[in-house]
Amino acid sequence: MTVLVLGGTAEARTLAELLQASGVAFVSSLAGRVARPRLPVGEVRVGGFGGVDGLVRYLSEHGVTAVVDATHPFAMGMTANAVEGCEATGVPLLRLERPGWGDAPGADRWHWVDGHRDAAELVAALSARPFLTVGRQRLDAFTGPLHRHAALVRVVDVPDVALPAAWTLRTSRGPYPVAAEHALMTEHAVDAVVTKDSGGSYTRAKLQVADELGIPVVVVRRGTPPGTARTVTDPADAAAWAIARG
């Protein structure tokens, strides 16, 4: 009788702590896309399942009684697989997702776009020294439109894609304090910020600093979640749901 937590987020780590304190058996699963991930407490598996079929096998073979999908808001592939795999096996599924930044102060002044290529084309026209904080997996959408721009790029791990010579790469991991973000952005004379609507507090400071500096912000909207799984935003609510099914 095991709860499976699809993790990799701060919310998933908090959930793991709550489940461990409750005595419920659980396993946290990380995709393995980050070289040195922050590990949650308890048992952890790293790596993909092998698509929906692999997830179905895992759920069946390991006696999983409930799944909490606490993956990143932009990890749509895993979320879709969780919906399909749980529907196929009859295992209850809950989505734990942090709220986005749509209601944050200043959000009504930001430029909201539907995809990374849209963001790249827009920021290419808006700025000369953009700050790209969109993760390493979608940087290829920006290398063409911004190949002559003096972009500052921040990622957790070094990206696989070749970056333009004019770009400056920083590898680090949040949370990022406001003072540090202000110092970084002024040091590099950043004139626009590009981000995804990841939500949460770890990377929120750059948006506050951008508003203080009066520079434009381009935000990639979240996609529509697949399926109709119940969604909560508080790890405590997810823990209560999982404990009742563990």
For the segment 191-218, what is each residue's pLDDT rounded down to a tens digit?
999 999 999 888 899 999 999 999 999 9
Domains of the chain: 2-97+225-243 (3.40.50.720), 107-220 (3.40.50.720)
Residue 229 contacts residue 69 (beta carbons within 8 Å):
yes
CA proximity to 242, closest of 31, 32, 42? 42
Mean pLDDT of the chain: 94
pTM to 2 decimal places: 0.91
pLDDT number for residue 142: 97
Q: Is the bond leading into 175 cis (omega within 30 degrees of zero)?
A: yes
Task: Say if residue 246's pLDDT is above 80.
Answer: no
